[in-house]
Structure 1
Amino acid sequence: MATMNDHELYPIGDAARRSGLSVSAVRFYADTGLIEPTGLNEAGHRMYDIHAIARLELVRTLRELDTDLDEIRRLLEGGTTLHDLLTTHLEIVERQERTLRARRAVLRALIKQGGTTVQADLMHKLVSMTDEQREQTIDDFWNDVGEDLEVPEGFVDRLRTMRPVLPADPTAAQLEAWIELADLVSDAVFRDAVRTYLRDAYSAPETRVLATEPFQDFMHVSGAALVEELLAAYRAGESPRSPWAQQAVTRFMEAATALSGTLLTPEVRNRMADGYQQIPDILRQIAEEEATSEGPGYDDTHGRYLSLVALINGTATEENHDCIPYAWIADAMRAAPRQPGRNTGPVSRARR
């Protein structure tokens, strides 16, 4: 390809080819005064130098970004800078991207559900909701679910705090999760199923304690932190009878027994150990019972709500009970308490 120099003039055909435009487009930009030719040849044909061709190429690039001709004219006349123009168009492209992502989420959901025109309109409204409207949707759900539900005071308010927060720039997966959740919480059948599950799980005298504030706080805050401390010892390869593991498991069991005012005796440790040893079998039994039960189960009700909230909030993790070392924890629980005066802390080993 021949090289270009600052002084040579090129006919309109060459200018079009080198700038990537059609001859008619180059002629149009000249007629509108946007990029005028550098001069005319002896036959009166338009000629362009390399600077004009570079400007034509810039116009082509900006037009491919859907830049308005008036904006391009302001740029070429010095009314704005290329940086400001590109920044503005980056914002436009990002808004278009968010819109397309939302449309993709709606289309995927419609294809999955075999949706109708009415459903398409509803899904579009769901992804277009304001933050306040989303908050009200979740509040309405919990107000309905919690009405006349015989559970300890404050339990529904705690459940209400676990709610979706759609980010300003959500992914397609987050939008799809929100569409599904918003559709579910607005469904009277789903609301009834969640209410029935919570009533069956927490209304009976032997299970009401599970819904009390101290127990819920232990399960989700203080106890969860203690379990994580115990698991850290396991992941570090500690023996269940090591000082670190014994300190962690004792702290956990003391906090657990304090909920019922029980002293942590060797007999209590053994009972707790037996319980932990049996958890895998209990979980399998629960899964089998829910699979054959005609009533609503956790995974289809409150569990589904929580999993969708986690997806929307970007906090979803793969829950795998098989990865929890129940047997190791049970061994740590059964180990005899350390004698007073002996070092029961993980400090020396944890910091090495």
Structure 2
Amino acid sequence: MNGTTPLHSIGSLSTLTGVPVRTIRFYSDVGLLPPTHRTPAGYRSYDSTALIRLQTICALRELDVDLPTIRRVLGGDVSVAEVAAAQSEATELRIRALRLRQSVLRHLARRGYDPEATALVQQLIRLTSEERRRLVTDFIDGLTTGTPAAHAATAALRSAVPDLPDDPTDAQVAAWMEIAELITDNGFRARMAHAALPPADEDALPGVAAGTAADLVAFARQAVTAARESGTDPQDEEAVPVVDAVVARCASALGRPVGPELKEWMAGRFEEGHDPRVARYWRLVWTVNDWQVVPGHLPFQPWLVEALRRGRPGLP
């Protein structure tokens, strides 16, 4: 030694860097921080280059870089920039996983699942993106497709497979969990096989002349679309004038008096073929895929049925 380069003992190095003596000794023992010099008594000492090396090791460890990778950096096999880029990607994946976990926890907190349902949620959320997609496509493949209508429904379902994004919102996670619950329900599978798509307008009011039914359906659709666009809920007071207008139009066309009996008859007719759980499935798909919901493209019947039955105990 020429005596011009100051040397630091492990204790001095610990004081300078704040790294515990035990940790410095460990790095030295595994070869990441070889001592610059050893005294005749065997004590290790380190120069300024070793100090910088230790600071590099600590900085990389603080960023969760593993020891083998740090060894490659110190050996010149890989640059800090390359390691930082890889670590950034890995961190992004962990952040996404944590956000997803947080969204699931919020979902569980709101829904108050029992232990069995909670276990199902945990199982579903562990699925990869490809596994989630396969779960839905297997559901669609399992639907009965013996009729032209069923074939059309299946085609529509295939064109709108819910695909949870890598960084979903709480609403998208909740929607995906609800979809998963629906498609694992055998009863829902049977419903979807027969009512995945709404019937044609001329079939909405069975027993009514085609021209009359089409006019009534068109009027009802326009009225409900306007109500939806204004944000009116079917249970709100603001829904009453909408219902009254549709009922009056129907009463006039059919020659029937306005009253509870006509409202219930209309609710039954508009409800036919429009399973609320099927309609719910489509709304959830729009949420998961972050598609814009266009009120005029939504089935109007569920909204109208709920508004027609508003305030009637025992009725949905």
Place the TM-score, normalised by the shorter chain, in its bin. Answer: 0.5 to 0.7
Task: Report the counterpart of residue 36 of structure 2 in structure 1.
Answer: 38
Match among 143, 152, 155 for residue 154 of structure 1: 152
Q: In structure 1, how many angstroms separate the alpha carbons of the residues matched to 2:280 and 2:204?
A: 21
Structure 2: any 5+ residue segments left out of the alignment? 206-213, 229-233, 245-262, 298-316
Match among 295, 302, 317 for residue 278 of structure 2: 302
Match among 57, 81, 84 for residue 83 of structure 1: 81
Match among 103, 108, 112 for residue 114 of structure 1: 112
Task: Report the counterpart of residue 123 of structure 1 in structure 2.
Answer: 121
Q: In structure 1, how many angstroms separate the alpha carbons of the residues matched to 2:182 and 2:13?
A: 59
TM-score between both structures, scaled by the size of structure 1 = 0.54
**Contact 1:193-1:296 within 8 A present in 2 as well:** no
Deviation for aligned residue 1:192: 5.2
Task: Report the counterpart of residue 314 of structure 1 in structure 2.
Answer: 290
Structure 1: any 5+ residue segments left out of the alignment? 1-5, 209-259, 261-267, 322-352
2:24 partner amino acid: V
- The answer to whether residue 212 in structure 2 is matched with residue 206 in structure 1 is no
Match among 174, 185, 188 for residue 187 of structure 1: 185
Match among 22, 25, 28 for residue 26 of structure 2: 28
**Contact 2:137-2:158 within 8 A present in 1 as well:** yes
Q: In structure 2, how many angstroms separate the alpha carbons of the residues matched to 1:104 and 1:274?
A: 42
| Residues 273 and 298 (structure 1), Cα distance of their counterparts in 2 relative to 1, 3 Å cut | closer
Deviation for aligned residue 1:124: 3.4
**Contact 2:9-2:45 within 8 A present in 1 as well:** yes
Alignment RMSD (CA, Å): 4.6
Deviation for aligned residue 1:35: 0.8
2:281 partner amino acid: Y
Deviation for aligned residue 1:56: 0.9
Deviation for aligned residue 1:92: 3.0
Task: Report the counterpart of residue 250 of structure 1 in structure 2.
Answer: none
| Residues 25 and 146 (structure 1), Cα distance of their counterparts in 2 relative to 1, 3 Å cut | same
1:26 partner amino acid: I
Q: In structure 2, how many angstroms separate the alpha carbons of the residues matched to 1:140 and 1:299?
A: 22
Q: Deviations over 1:199-251 (max 9, x none)?
A: 8x52784339xxxxxxxxxxxxxxxxxxxxxxxxxxxxxxxxxxxxxxxxxxx
2:199 partner amino acid: Y
| Residues 319 and 43 (structure 1), Cα distance of their counterparts in 2 relative to 1, 3 Å cut | farther
Q: Deviations over 1:112-162 (max 9, x none)?
A: 333355434433332343555434433454466666789587255334422
**Contact 1:185-1:191 within 8 A present in 2 as well:** yes
Match among 167, 192, 201 for residue 170 of structure 1: 167
2:203 partner amino acid: E
| Residues 22 and 113 (structure 1), Cα distance of their counterparts in 2 relative to 1, 3 Å cut | same
Describe the SS at the equivalent of 2:57. helix
Q: Deviations over 1:22-64 (max 9, x none)?
A: 1111122223322123335798754333322221122112223
Task: Report the counterpart of residue 50 of structure 1 in structure 2.
Answer: 48
Q: In structure 2, how many angstroms separate the alpha carbons of the residues matched to 1:109 and 1:278?
A: 31
Match among 57, 60, 78 for residue 58 of structure 2: 60
Deviation for aligned residue 1:111: 3.2
Describe the SS at the equivalent of 2:203. coil
